Structure formats: structure tokens, C-alpha cells
A and B are shown apart, each in its own frame.
Chain A
Amino acid sequence: MQTRRDTLQQSMAVAGLLAAAGFLPRDAFAFNKTAFEAKSIADAAKAFGGGAPAESKDVTLTAPDIAENGAVVPMAVASTLPNLKHLLVLVEKNPNALVAMFNVSDAVEPSFATRAKMGQTSDVYAVAITNDGKALYAKKEVKVTLGGCGG
């Protein structure tokens, strides 16, 4: 005879399976899969609400000229633009261009640094997306002597 305890245990197991499969509602802050699978800079910007990116001096990208190790390339993005929504870091020749997206809030300065993997010598882009949908970028070529994806 199936007891109440058994029924509860079964439904927890099913819920666990569903959660693992991704069917339960996610919280509002969901990972933007489309953007991270985008192959071009413009597509990634579009996935976050930006238009066609235009180069701008108000966006800065700090990265080394030559990356000694493609698995760990330090890069920093910053912008002085008002009304910022997102700051993106992209590596053009990586299998997927988008590396990271930072949401800009009033509590932090619009300046973020991280380290990324680069598969080969490529342009690195910092894209700033404003609340009214404009995308502005800065780019820099970073030479990679030893590729970062293990291949």
C-alpha cells in the first residue's frame, strides 16, 4: 500500500528530476543562452538589447598586447557613458564570441576586470549597451602564443 510518505518522496524525486532537466520556472535572473552561443559580436550585443555596435572612445578595454598564456588572459572593461545597462567582454575568434556580461548598477563603478581564455590571436572587444539600446565598443588585438582551449 502506498503510504503518504511514499507519495511525498516520489513527488520530490520527480521535482528533482524536473529541476535537473530545467523545467521548473527559473528565477528572473536567467542565464542568457542565446547570447553565449552567438558567433559574432553584433549577435551577442543584439541578445542583450543593443543595436549595431559603433566604435567609441567612451568605452575602454585593457588587455595585454601579447598574452603569454592563452588560458589566462587578463582583461578589463570600463566605460564613462551615462545610462549604462551592460558591459560585455568578447573574443572575436573564440568558438563562442561572448566571454562575460556585467550588469551595471548604481552601486558599482562601470569597470570590471576578469581573466579569459583565448583560443588564438584575436581582437578582443569591450561593448557597452545603454538603456536606450545603443551598443558602443572598443577593441584591441591580443596576440596569443599558446592557445587557451586545450586543443
Chain B
Amino acid sequence: MADPMRIRAQANGGNAVVRVLMSHEMETGQRKDSAGKTIPAWHITEVTAAHNGKPVLSAEWGPAVSKNPFMQFTLKGAKAGDKVSVTWKDNKGDTRTDEATVS
């Protein structure tokens, strides 16, 4: 939750390819620390994206998504200058939203 997401949205024909790199530990809840105690699960559970304020994408993730998750999707009908925002929520209730402009 410390670092901002890196969002790159590139217009391509009538669509925009959006790549997002989020900063998150994504603990599975399977690992044990050096004392032998299980490190509790801490991972992003929901991701949503909006295009010019309109929700366009929603996803649910489990702990198996890699640390510092990457996601790519293609937004239909987007052009340069449009705003894309991505929000994630994790299982501890933390949330973060970042925005980018389609280039």
C-alpha cells in the first residue's frame, strides 16, 4: 500500500491497452516465519477499474496472484486523454486508487 500503482494506458486503434503494476505483498497464508509461526494471508481481494468515472472492470483475486501484482486488460472505445482509474481492496480492508491518462 506504500507505493503508488504504475498504470500505463496506450491507445491502440479504438481501444486502449491498460497495464497496471500494483505494490502489494500478496501473502498466501501458507508461509511460516523463522519462528515457525504461519504468516497470515494478506492479499488483494477485489480490483475495479473505471474509465472516465464509469466502472468498466471488476475482478476478484486470491492469494495465488504474484507479489506486486501485474494486470493487463484492453479497454474498448478509449482514446487519448481519457482517464483510467484502478482501485484495489485487500483482505485487511485497506484500499488504494490510482489514476492515469490514456496516451
Taking Cβ atoms with an 8 Å cutoff, the residues of A that contact B are 19-20, 29, 31-32, 35-36, 71-74, 76, 91, 94-96, 98-103, 105-109, 111-118, 148-151
Contacts and interface: CB of A to CB of B under 8 A. Distances in A.
Contacts of B56: 105, 107-108
Contacts, number: 112
Given A107-B51, A114-B72, A101 B60 contact: yes
Contact of A20 (B26, B75, B93): B93
Contacts of B60: 31-32, 35-36, 100-101
Contact of A149 (B28, B71, B75): B28
Given A31-B46, A114-B69, A98 B77 contact: no
Nearest to A38: B62
A94 B67 CA distance: 16
A35 B60 CA distance: 10
B31 A29 contact: no
Given A20-B93, A115-B65, A117-B65, A103 B59 contact: yes
B1 to A, nearest CB: 17
A96 B62 contact: yes
Contacts of B48: 29
Nearest to A99: B64
9 contacts: A32-B60, A76-B72, A96-B62, A107-B56, A111-B74, A114-B65, A114-B72, A115-B65, A118-B64
A108 B73 contact: yes
Contacts of A103: 57-59
A13 to B, nearest CB: 16
Contacts of A32: 60
